[in-house]
Every structure is written in structure tokens, then in C-alpha cells.
Amino acid sequence: MQMLEEYRTKSYRQHLRPPVEENLIRDKTAIVGIGQTEYSRDSGRDELDLACEAIKKAVADAGLKMSDIDGLEALTLDRVSMPTLIGSLGIENLRFTSEVSFGGGGACALVMHAAAAVASGAADYVVCYRALNEASGHRYGRGDGYAEYLKAAPTLHYGYYFPYGFLTPLSWAAMYTKRWMHEYGIKLEDTGWYSVVLREYAQNNPEAIFYGKPLTIEEFHESPMISAPLRLFDCCVDTDGAAAVVVTTADRAKDMPHTPVYIAAAAQSSPIETEIQTSYNRPVVAGLPETWYVGQELYRQSGLGPADIDVAQLYDPFSYGAMIQLEELGFCGPGECVDFCQGGDRIRVDGELPLNTSGGLLSEAYIHGVNLITEAVRQLRGTAHNQVTDAETAIVTAGPGLPTSGLILRK
């Protein structure tokens, strides 16, 4: 229980572990290429097709040839067959592959594992990718269709949820959100600004699913309640599409076309009694200990703190999923994130902490968080649609409420 004790007393960074002077990843590895397909509600293509396009673009963006790529990194949830993908890409000899579990919680870990691979010399250029037809194909986020192909819950712990009609990520998140609102006295009528600001960002991003479709705070509050306390516009947007990034060493990055985006820190966390979005048996349900731990580890490795971060890309499967992370990462105190987002000014592009500047998973696209990494890279290159002036550092996180991961990137 030491982990939870550290979490409760918020003592870890100050007392328990020394800062990192140097490691093999910090500032010695970099993201050098990004690529993405069109983000749509119905791609009309299969996921292999989407993956090929995003990877091809990322490799070209890095100024590389496909034959330079010798590592591939994916999520275990990705349905693209990696051997088939390798054949389509024409990679002659792949030296390194790895898969990260825990769904969207693994998004930043893709880059972490790729960085470890290039730092160790296991590979020179590793592509991390995610391709999914989440809108038009099988919607694991929705839960319908289960009756047709499942007779029983898929795992032991889900056996306690599925028979009760409790089988969607949104509703699992609603359970900890309700408890969090109860403990901190959050009122439903005070919420909504997070969703409104993200939709504003999407109005300047032609790639966003919600480009051309603004949202007012009144429309937010009129939107239907889905899994109370969560409304329709608290939810992310199911998307068809793919995104990819190329990781290499800082030495190689110096001679490549774009400003290198260095990896200042990379971390994963799976605290005790963590289930996949249903961690209801640890003492703290009203919070996200895994995100807190990842944040502490990122700050410890990078030597940076919340005040040093210029722009944040926080995984938002639903609004509170990102907002509570603001508390866990130290951008505001416990129970203060709704106040932090009130009126929206602090999280807008010229605010204290520009947040999910492409529109995030709520309003740009749901590419399982890999599109948050590509947006952080654009911010540090200075090429974002909603560009934060002189952005030099970015924090990126992966799915909250399950084993998760995070990155601090810098110019």
C-alpha cells in the first residue's frame, strides 16, 4: 500500500525518490516524423489501408525511406496484422517489434518503448502507429453487438460488470466521476466549459471531425444525459483514421528536416488494484492515481514541474477524464478542475495552460490518443492550427483510469 500512501500524502516527489540526473531516453531520443490519414466517421477503407497511409506520411515527413525503418510499435488492441503490414510497407528486415497493452492507456508508452529501443540500439528508426475504424466498424466503446458474439463476460473481473448491463467505458468512467463529484461537491450546472473550449479549437482545425460545428455552453447543457452524470457532449468522438510517429536518437535527429522534438521524459504506471477502467477496490476512487504517478515520474525524469509546461495534451475519453488529470498533474488542486476550466480562458490558446489544442479526443478525433502526440509535436515545431506562442515544452498523457503512460516533450 506504499504507492497509495504516497498518492494520498502527495509526498513522492519531495521525499521518496531522487531526481534523475541523466538517463538513456532523456534528451537523447526524439520524434522526427508525424503522419495521419483523414479523420472521418466512415473511412470506407480497412484499418490496414489506414495504417499504411499514416506510416507512409510519417516516414516521408521525417525525410526517410521506408527501408530505413527497422522497428514497429503498436497497441495490442490494434487489429492490423503486423506481419501483413510489414509486407505492405516493404520493410526488408524489421529488427524490433513490440506491442503495448491497456488500450488507450498505452498510447504514450508506444513512444516510450520506441525510445528505449533506439536508445539501446535495438533499432534505429521506430514507427509507432494506431489505425482504427471506431466509428464505422466495431465500436468497443459502445458495447452493443456484445449480445451477438459474446455469451459471457470476457475476463474474470468483467464478470462482475457485464451481467448488469455495465459494459461500456463511458459508464465505468461515470462511476468514478460520480464519486469524485460527491467528494468535492461538484455541481452539474457548473460543468461544460471543457467541452466548449475544445470545440472552439476544432473550428480552426480543418482535420477535426467537429470542424465547422461549434458548440455553446447552452447546447452543452441541453445535450442528452447518456450515462448519468455524463452527457453526450462530455464524450469523445468515435473516429475512423490512423496516426503515426517516427522515433530515433537525438544524434540522428539533428540532421533531419524538422526541428527535433526531444523526449524529456517517458513513463508508465499501473498502481495497485488497477483494473481496466473499473478500479473500484482501491481506497481512492475519486481520482486517478495512475495519472498522478505518471506525472511525478515525468517531472522527476525531466527536472521540470507543472509551471514549466507550455501546452498540455491530456487524454480525454470524456471531459472529466482530462479535467481530473489537471488536478493529478498539479495544474490545480484536488477538486478544483471545474473552476480551472470555468469560462474557458485558462485553457484557451493564450491562457495559463492551453489544453488539447487540436480539439482533443472530444472534438478533433479519437485515434486512441496518438493524435494527441502528433499535436504536441506540431506545437513544438510551431506548425499547429492553434499555435501556442513560443511553445517549448509539452506534456502528453494516455488513457486515465487504467494502466497509463505519459510523455514530456521539448524543443
Q: 103 with 77: CB under 8 angstroms?
A: yes
- Closer of 60 and 188 to another protein (Cβ): 188
Q: 3-state DSSP call for residue 59?
A: helix
- Closer of 116 and 170 to another protein (Cβ): 170
* Of the candidate residues 154, 257, 333, 343, the single one contacting another protein (CB under 8 A): 154
* Of the candidate residues 41, 79, 142, 381, the single one contacting another protein (CB under 8 A): 142
Q: Is 187 in the site for another protein (CB under 8 A)?
A: no
- Closer of 24 and 225 to another protein (Cβ): 225
Q: What is the dihedral of CA 166, 170, 176, 182, to 10 degrees?
A: -110
**Which of 313, 302, 298 lies closest to 371 in space, CA to CA?**
313
Site stretch for another protein (CB under 8 A), options 152-160, 320-328, 344-352, 373-381: 152-160
Binding mask 258-277 for another protein (x = CB under 8 A): --------------x-----
Determine the size of the site formed for another protein (CB under 8 A). 42
Whole-angstrom Cα distance, residue 298 to residue 99? 22
Run of H or E including 195: helix 193-202
Q: Is 174 in the site for another protein (CB under 8 A)?
A: yes
* Of the candidate residues 39, 176, 220, 315, the single one contacting another protein (CB under 8 A): 176
* Of the candidate residues 15, 22, 93, 156, the single one contacting another protein (CB under 8 A): 156
Whole-angstrom Cα distance, residue 190 to residue 1? 35
Q: Is 143 in the site for another protein (CB under 8 A)?
A: yes
Q: Kindly state the smallest distance separating residue 168's Cβ from another protein, in Å.
A: 5
- Closer of 121 and 163 to another protein (Cβ): 163
Please report, for residues 202, 252, 313, 332, 394, the alpha-carbon distance to residue 361 in angstroms, rounded to integers and kept in the order given: 10, 32, 10, 22, 17
* Of the candidate residues 12, 129, 161, 331, the single one contacting another protein (CB under 8 A): 161
Beta-strand pair 29-36/261-269: antiparallel
* Of the candidate residues 83, 185, 212, 224, the single one contacting another protein (CB under 8 A): 224
Q: Which three cell numbers stand for residue 125?
A: 528508426
Q: Is 149 in the site for another protein (CB under 8 A)?
A: no
Q: Examine the residue annotation and report whether 125 is marked as an active-site residue of this protein.
A: no
Q: Is 185 in the site for another protein (CB under 8 A)?
A: no
Please report, for residues 100, 292, 370, 392, the alpha-carbon distance to residue 6 in angstroms, rounded to integers and kept in the order given: 26, 10, 30, 30
- Closer of 77 and 272 to another protein (Cβ): 272
Q: Examine the residue annotation and report whether 293 is marked as an active-site residue of this protein.
A: no
Number of other CB atoms surrounding residue 84 within 10 Å: 11
- One-letter amino acid at 332 equals C
Q: Is 228 in the site for another protein (CB under 8 A)?
A: yes
Q: 3-state DSSP call for residue 32?
A: strand
Q: Is 151 in the site for another protein (CB under 8 A)?
A: yes
Whole-angstrom Cα distance, residue 14 to residue 338? 27
Q: 306 with 331: CB under 8 angstroms?
A: yes
- One-letter amino acid at 269 equals S
Q: Which three cell numbers stand for residue 44?
A: 470506407
Please report, for residues 182, 273, 287, 400, the alpha-carbon distance to residue 185 in angstroms, rounded to integers and kept in the order given: 5, 26, 14, 21
Active-site position among 12, 211, 262, 315: 315
- Closer of 157 and 381 to another protein (Cβ): 157
Show contacts with another protein in window 368-387 (CB under 8 A): none
- Closer of 206 and 224 to another protein (Cβ): 224
Q: Which three cell numbers stand for residue 345?
A: 480562458
Rule CB under 8 A: which residues touch another protein? 142-144, 146-147, 150-168, 170-171, 174-176, 178-179, 182, 224-228, 232, 272, 280-281, 285
Residues with catalytic function? 315, 366
